[in-house]
Amino acid sequence: MTRHETFTAPDIADKDLVLATDLDGTFLGGTDEERSRFYNWIEANRSRVGLIFVTGRDPGFISDLTRNQGVPRPEYVVGDVGTTVAKVGTDHVLEPIEKLEEEIATAWNGAGLRVQAALAGMPGLKLQSAAFRYRVSYDMDANRFDGRAVDVIAGLGLDTLISDDRYFDVLPRGVSKGPTLLRLLAHLGIQNEKTLVAGDTLNDLSMLTLGLPAVAVGNSEDALFREVDGLEHVHKAEAHGVAGIAEAIIARKMFPAS
């Protein structure tokens, strides 16, 4: 290669493996040594491995994570529990894909204040301070939680998602990690069979049950393991976090020798 030539990475649809992974407990899980080894493997194989974060985290958190904390930068993000869809620039800034977000915005229909008013004073729910565009999120005290909250939200024509026995999310009807990821894969022309989805809590269930190759990492909550029990396309890992992802890649032979 001459000094004037530059390397252009293949389009994500042309890569051998696309990892679509949750963050907390999954891509950010495992020991420091395991994370370092796995992140270095991804960086060394960028021409063959595509990366999509599928997370409840917001764009600001993700940008800081990849810019300042040594975590590999993904090409795309499904964030805010499926309500944000974005491309990630080389400057680590998330650029929303308007074509894919239009349907989400329409389904939400500016419901934020209506949700907060409907759930005001509901036992066991504490509104999170972060402001989200197309969702409302609460910290949940499972011991005090009143199940009527689910019915209240259903009455507004919206969906609820409870995960890890401590998070209560209100989402547009029919919108969550799985459906949004599937729309992104179709938009990008990525083949389902070479996409590995990874997660550890119930808010990952909608993507682990899509039928794509999947892994529930070893530190997954028991409720998730129960839900995916018997699903042949889901690898139930013994190793935790990134080591569980690596275990699934090897077990399912998803990274062929070049």
Q: What is the pLDDT of residues 149-188, one digit of tens each?
A: 999 999 999 999 998 889 999 999 999 999 999 999 999 9
Please name every residue paired with 49 in a beta bridge, in sequence order, or none if there are none: 17
User: For residue 130, is pLDDT > 90?
Assistant: no
Query: Sign (positive/negative) of CA torsion 96, 102, 107, 110?
Result: positive
Specify the DSSP element, H or E, that contains 196: strand 195-199
Kindly report the CA angle at 50 between 44 and 56, in degrees rounded to 5? 115
The rounded distance, in Å, linking the Cα atoms of 220 and 84 is 24
Half-sphere exposure of 135 (CA within 13 A, CB side): 28
Q: Where are the domains of the chain?
A: 12-103+175-251, 107-172
Q: Calculate the average pLDDT of the chain.
A: 94
Structural tokens at position 148: 């009527």
pLDDT surpassing 70 at residue 1:
no
The CATH architecture of the domain made up of 107-172 is Alpha-Beta Complex (3.90)
What class has domain 12-103+175-251? alpha beta
- Render pLDDT for 63-111 as a digit per residue (tens, 0 to 9): 999 999 999 999 999 999 999 999 999 999 999 999 999 999 999 999 9
Domains 12-103+175-251 and 107-172 share a fold: no
Quick one: residue 36, left, alpha or beta (phi over 0 = left, psi -120 to 50 = alpha)? alpha
